[in-house]
Amino acid sequence: MRNIRITLAYRGTAYHGWQVQRNARSVCTVFQDALEQALGRRYDVKGCSRTDAGVHANGFVLSVLCPGEAPPAIPCAALQKALNDRLPRDMAVLDCADAPEEFHPRYDCTAKRYLYKIWDRPVKNPFLEDLALHCRQPLDLERADSAARQFLGRWDFTSLCAAGGSVEDKTRTIYRCAVRREGELAVLSVTGDGFLYNMVRILAGTVLEASRGKLDPAGIPDILRARDRSLAGPTLPPHGLYLDRVFYPGDEIL
């Protein structure tokens, strides 16, 4: 058995998320197509997360377990090149390495970092149309960052969980949460040990409401304690969201 760990970057605009779907184009399906072309056989792959339609990834981790009597002997560097030669222009393998047979990209994950990008200028930017949320009013960065920092620590995030989530335990730990300016973009960065369904997009919506003066940053702990979704901000669109990095044992959580 050979287990290959791959780090993938993709622009999620043209895909209905990571997960294979019967009647929609997914990141996983397109990746498996390229893998089959490279190795001559269709292998099952395991992903670190289920990104939604339109969500992007800077560092999505997946694994390919190659069973059978003669698993592919192709070196990782050659496999990376073969995959990148076959993948579409909106997807790329950043790293490819052999991993222990028991490695699982989802269950071994210790933390994830997400980004939410906002273009806060009066005029839309056509080059960022599907890569960042357009807000016509400039963000109050001080209020936005103050709101983001209220989420630090261990909380029950029921107030930030969309309907449809099946997880019973909604307690998560947020290690880092801040808003900063990157060039002309306002970027929310949040790192935690796990995230609920649409949690980051709701968190970003809550921070945005605080920036606009519609929520008091100091009141966010009360919103979390209430465990009431109606008190938090809106669920922002998926195209501003990026899975930025996945952390594993031994990694410094940033």
pLDDT tier for residue 71 given thresholds of 50, 70 and 90: low
Percent residues over pLDDT 70 in the chain:
97
Catalytic center residues:
52
- The HSE-up count of residue 249 (CA atoms within 13 Å, CB side) is 4
User: Does residue 123 surpass a pLDDT of 70?
Assistant: yes
3-state secondary structure of 133: strand
- Residue pLDDT, tens place only, 92-103: 999 999 999 999
Arithmetic mean of pLDDT, 144-163: 95
Non-local CB neighbours of 216 within 8 Å, separated by 6+ positions: 210
Residue 165: predicted pLDDT:
63
Residue 254: predicted pLDDT:
82
User: Does residue 160 surpass a pLDDT of 80?
Assistant: yes
Range in 100-104, 123-127, 159-163, 171-175 with the lowest mean pLDDT: 159-163
pLDDT tier for residue 23 given thresholds of 50, 70 and 90: confident
- Residue pLDDT, tens place only, 187-211: 999 999 999 999 999 999 999 999 9
pTM above 0.85, yes or no: yes
Helix, strand counts (H, E) of the chain: 5, 10
pLDDT tier for residue 68 given thresholds of 50, 70 and 90: low
Main-chain phi, psi angles of 74, to 5 degrees: -60, 130
From CA 32, how far away is CA 214, in angstroms rounded? Answer: 45
pLDDT tier for residue 20 given thresholds of 50, 70 and 90: confident
| Mean pLDDT across the chain | 94
pLDDT tier for residue 167 given thresholds of 50, 70 and 90: confident
User: Does residue 164 surpass a pLDDT of 70?
Assistant: no
User: Does residue 157 surpass a pLDDT of 90?
Assistant: yes
Non-local CB neighbours of 27 within 8 Å, separated by 6+ positions: 8, 10, 12, 15, 17, 18, 51, 57, 60, 91
From CA 195, how far away is CA 172, in angstroms rounded? Answer: 7
- Residue pLDDT, tens place only, 130-151: 999 999 999 999 999 999 999 9
b/e for 159-179, b at 16 or more Cβ within 10 A? Answer: bbbeeeeeeeebebebebbbb
Q: What share of the chain is helix, strand, coil (3-state, %, to 5)?
A: 30, 30, 40
CA dihedral sign of residues 190, 192, 197, 199: negative
Residue 162: predicted pLDDT:
83
